Amino acid sequence: MYELLKTSPRSKARLGRLTISRGVIDTPVFMPVGTQASVKALDLRELNEIGTEILLGNTYHLFLRPGLDIIRKAGGLHRFMNWDKPILTDSGGFQVYSLAKIRKVRDDGVEFRSHLSGETLFLGPRESMAIQRELGSDIAMLFDECPPHGASDSDLQAAVKRTLDWAIVCAEQPRAEGQLYFGIVQGANAPALRKRCAEELVAMDFDGYAIGGVSVGEPEPEMMHAVEITEPHLPAGKARYAMGLGTPAQLIELVARGVDMFDCVLPTRVARNGTAYTSRGAINLRASHQKENFGPIEEGCDCFACTHHTRAYLRHMLKAGEILGLRMLSVHNSHFFMQVMRDIRRHLANGTFDDYRDEFIANYQPTSKVIEGRANSRLKVQG
């Protein structure tokens, strides 16, 4: 369970610890996205080397492929992928709404066509929690309805009602041994809806709470506002999770707003486009001026990519279409996100988080609107 260890004097930032059956997770924490039971381009050794404490898997994708029969025969998701640390599984609700070719929302769930085979399938609160029970994840997210940015008031109200109705059904479902259930607060940027959704979920006494319906295409100020109007209604003694976020600068700002847990596809997604994150901002290693740069991606970084390869060499790998290039950028970016979390926790413990926040934000330059914008549009196929 969650233990609040320390708070920041000038913000809502929290240092904490989440204890579950497979281990202790120090928060704030970043969870690499392993949608298909794999974090793209990284192996388990690399995930351990960068300090990964918990991974994210996806109910929808794993249900479709390889399917529950295979995972059941393997002995659960942990054994299937040979990962002995905690796993959080998304409910699959977001993917049903974003990926399904055709879908029909009903009061008991959603009928949809698989984006892979076109087969008609059904996913509701009972089905989602049953799948997550079979997967054996340590944290299972409740099945919710995530309306798109710009949805009408009536659609938002209907989504909140379904989310709450489905939460009651989810709570009644049996769990895997030691499995925690996290509720998801919806309501877009409507304070009254967010308040209602949060308060009713909190009354159901789940193990933790997520802020959903963010990073779905809205501008960054609206995303921050959604977090700000939700956080006051969440209990201090439970973990708080902002789903699908964000860039390094956004993570720090969200920590300052009281969020404990994060996941995002950006570290590996942008690596495949030749982009690397640094404390000064995102850089393009495909750029011609990197051709004769024989320094590391970032001075002082102790990741494998920075201690073994130069920018010039990695640019050559990328331009030549060698897999090593995108793998090494994935290693560096993932390490960088983990290092930001370690720095946040260290400064929270020392009482210097707010100074760290000010300095990081002042120095961090989002050099590409294309790269930074990706965090404000939650990607359909994650990873």
Catalytic position from the list 90, 138, 144, 207: 90
**Averaged over 367-380, what is the pLDDT?**
40
Identify the pLDDT of residue 310. Answer: 98
Q: Spot the catalytic one: 69, 207, 263, 355.
A: 263
Looking at the fold, whether 220 and 297 belong to one and the same domain comes out as no
The arithmetic mean of pLDDT across residues 259-283, rounded, is 97
Query: Of 203, 231, 264, which marks where a domain is finished?
Result: 264
pLDDT of residue 19: 98
Q: Is residue 300 part of a domain?
A: yes
| pLDDT given at position 381 | 37
The pTM (predicted TM-score) of the whole model is 0.95
pLDDT, one tens digit per residue, over 31-78 is 999 999 999 999 999 999 999 999 999 999 999 999 999 999 999 999
207 with 351, same domain: the answer is: no
In a domain, 382, yes or no: no
- 379 pLDDT more than 50: no
pLDDT per position as a tens digit, 163-190: 999 999 999 999 999 999 999 999 999 9
Annotated catalytic, 263?
yes
Q: Looking at the DSSP assignment, which residues form a beta bridge with residue 240?
A: 209
Last residue in a domain, options 211, 236, 264:
264
Largest CA distance in the chain: 61
Q: How big is the chain by its Cα radius of gyration, in Å?
A: 20
Q: Is the pLDDT of residue 378 over 70?
A: no
Give pLDDT, residue 114. Answer: 87
For residue 355, indicate whether it is catalytic. no
Average pLDDT over residues 182-202: 98
Q: How many domains does the chain have?
A: 2
Q: Residue 381 has what DSSP assignment?
A: S
- What integer pLDDT is reported at residue 94 of this predicted model? 87
pLDDT the model gives residue 367: 56
Q: Are 241 and 100 within one domain?
A: yes
Give the mean model confidence (pLDDT) for residues 130-135.
98
Range of the domain at 9: 2-264
- If asked whether residues 293 and 258 sit together in one domain, one would say no
* Same domain for 193 and 89: yes
Among residues 217, 246, 264, the one where a domain terminates is 264
* 77 falls within a domain: yes
Give domain status of residue 376, yes or no: no
User: Does some domain include residue 57?
Assistant: yes
* 324/175 same-domain check: no
End-to-end CA separation in angstroms for the chain: 28
Whether 183 is in a domain gets the answer yes
Mean pLDDT throughout 347-370? Answer: 88
Residue 298 and residue 253 in one domain? no
* Distance, CA of 14 to CA of 11 (rounded, Å): 9
CB atoms near residue 346 (< 10 Å): 13
Question: Domain check: are 280 and 155 in the same one?
Answer: no
* 64-118: pLDDT as tens digits: 999 999 999 999 999 999 999 999 999 988 888 787 768 888 999 999 888 899 9
Q: What is the dihedral of CA 211, 213, 214, 219, to 10 degrees?
A: -150
Provide the 8-state DSSP code for 288. Answer: G
289 & 260 share domain: no
The closest of 383, 365, 308 to 49, measured between CA atoms, is: 308
Give pLDDT, residue 103.
87
What is the structure's pLDDT at 98? Answer: 81
Model confidence over 304-356: pLDDT tens digits? 999 999 999 999 999 999 999 999 999 999 999 999 999 999 999 999 999 99
- Is residue 200 domain-shared with residue 235, that is, in the same domain? yes
The 10s digit of each residue's pLDDT in 207-264 is: 999 999 998 989 999 999 999 999 999 999 999 999 999 999 999 999 999 999 999 9
Instruction: Tell me the C-alpha distance between 48 and 137, whole Å.
Output: 18
Residue 359 shares a structural domain with residue 294? yes
**Please, are residues 207 and 182 in contact by the beta-carbon 8 Å criterion?**
yes
Summarize the confidence of residues 153-158 as an average pLDDT. 96
Both 257 and 301 in a single domain?
A: no
In a domain, 56, yes or no: yes
CATH code: domain of residue 122: 3.20.20.105
Q: Does residue 378 lie within any of the structural domains?
A: no
